[in-house]
Structure 1
Amino acid sequence: MARSRLTPERESELYEAVIDLLGEVGYDGLTMDAIAARTRSSKATLYRQWGSKPELVAQSLRHHKPVRIAEIDTGSLRGDFRELIGQTDDCQMERDSAMMRGLAHAISDNPELLQALRELLIEPEMTGLGQVLRRAVERGEVAADNPALDLVPHMMIGAFVARPLIEDRPIDQAFLTRYVDAVVLPALGV
């Protein structure tokens, strides 16, 4: 889809408005009408640029995610995880965690949203995490045949979902650091 009519600044504005609305009303309550009103755009422009609500939401989430996992390389896996955790403040983590829980519900009823999220957000994140873990294997920190390597994404997503459910507390940097040190790194033999 051609996106040349929007400046990068305007596109960024639209993405931030989608994220704000998503946090306010959830995915099911999010409408193209509401996005158009919030951004002073026409629905026709939104559909021309993104084609569908799932595509716009997925692109907004990708734009919203400032951390590029693959670019993190501190020289150690523990350092890489600490850098990754340190790049998002506690307020943003809480907001992202709530958004993830809402989207988890929405994707169960919307295969188009799931596909868009996989293509635009999940697969790039998995690729980046895979690169971080490959470097740890190359450095000799993790055994190449460690069965936990394939489960790191599951462990990390589990932390975001489980803490609010189990403890009724938001996810934060201190918890994630403790979780990585106590669960993820030991599972990897680090």
Structure 2
Amino acid sequence: MQDELYRATIAVLGEVGWDGLTLERVAEKAGRSRVTLWRNGVSRESLLDALLRRLTEGYRDAMLPVLTSPGSVRERMERTMHALCDVIDAHADVLSLSDEMFHRAAEANCEMPIGFLDPFLRVLADARAAGQLTSKAKDLDLADVLFNGVAWPYLHFRVRHEWPPARARRLLFATLLDGVLKK
């Protein structure tokens, strides 16, 4: 997707939401003709797919190196959380529109080799095997809490409070990790 169509799609979503997104509105926002977009194979569905694919690919690219990184459980979990925050920073414009973006991307199944929770699940399994978890909750539930406990507060602190990344990450990670892992 061209950057101008990407920005126009985000702008229209911000104004009218998913249900109000039309090719005509995106074309108008991008200063292009709806017919021209349509003739070039652009549709409402292709715009949404491209938006979600960009998010999915950004997540994949950030997380694949983390999945194979060495280190202690705590170091690996911190790297996983940092990678998620990197994705949040890179896609804050899209993620600020709706807390459904990751769900929609998962439903669209944008050829993702890993699930959104997989990096967290991998580290949690190692932490459980090493006796380092403080919680008896299921790993899937903990992964969901960690993913969402990082993603949405971090986005809020960065976008709404305009905290610098280091401050938001330092305070958020310490709070979450100390609640899940033994020191």
Q: What TM-score results when the alignment is normalised by the length of structure 2?
A: 0.61
Q: CA deviation at 1:124?
A: 1.7
Task: State the Cα distance separating 1:63 from its structure 2 match.
Answer: 2.2
Q: How does 1:13-24 map to 2 (within 5 A)?
A: 14=1, 19-21=6-8
The alignment status of 1:127 with 2:115, answered yes or no, reads no
Q: What residue in structure 2 maps to residue 60 of structure 1? A: 54
**In the alignment, which of 135, 154, 160 is matched to residue 160 of structure 1?**
154
- Residue 162 of structure 2: which of 156, 169, 173 is its match? 169
Contact 2:146 2:176 (C-alpha < 8 Å) held by counterparts: yes
Task: Measure, in 1, the Cα distance between the counterparts of 2:123 and 2:117.
Answer: 10
Q: Which runs of 5+ in 1 are unaligned?
A: 1-13, 108-112
Q: Residues 157 and 61 of structure 1: is their aligned pair in 2 closer, same or farther, counting only changes over 3 Å?
A: same
Question: Aligned in 2, Cα 1:63/1:144: closer, same or farther, shift over 3 Å?
Answer: same
Equivalent residue number for residue 18 of structure 2: none
Q: 1:84 aligns with which of 67, 76, 80?
A: 80
1:179 maps onto 2:175 in alignment = no
- The corresponding residue for 1:141 is 132
Letter in 1 for 2:48: P
CA positional deviation for 1:93? 4.7
Higher relative contact order (CA 8 A, sep 6+): 1
User: How far is the alpha carbon of 1:87 from its aligned partner?
Assistant: 4.8
Instruction: Give the distance between the partners of 1:143 and 1:174, measured in 2 at CA.
Output: 25
In the other structure, the counterpart of 1:116 is 104
Q: What CA distance in whole angstroms lies between the structure 2 residues aligned with 1:36 and 1:141?
A: 55
Matched, 1:97 2:92: yes
Offset at residue 185 of structure 1 (A): 1.0
- C-alpha contact (below 8 Å) 2:133/2:181 kept by paired residues: yes
Contact 1:26-1:99 at 8 Å conserved across structures: no
**Cα pair 1:163 1:170 within 8 Å, conserved:** yes
Partner SS state of residue 126, structure 2: helix
Taking only aligned residues, the RMSD between alpha carbons, in angstroms, comes to: 4.1
Please state if 1:27 is matched with 2:23: no
- Preserved CA contact (<8 Å) 1:72 1:84: no
SS of the equivalent of 1:58 reads: helix
1:188 aligns with 2:176: no
The two structures have a TM-score, normalised by structure 1, of 0.60
Contact 2:81 2:150 in 1 (8 A): no
> Does structure 1 retain, via aligned residues, the 8 Å contact 2:9–2:47?
no
Structure 2, gaps ≥5 residues long: 16-20
Whether the aligned pair in 2 keeps the contact of 1:18 and 1:60 (CA below 8 Å) is no
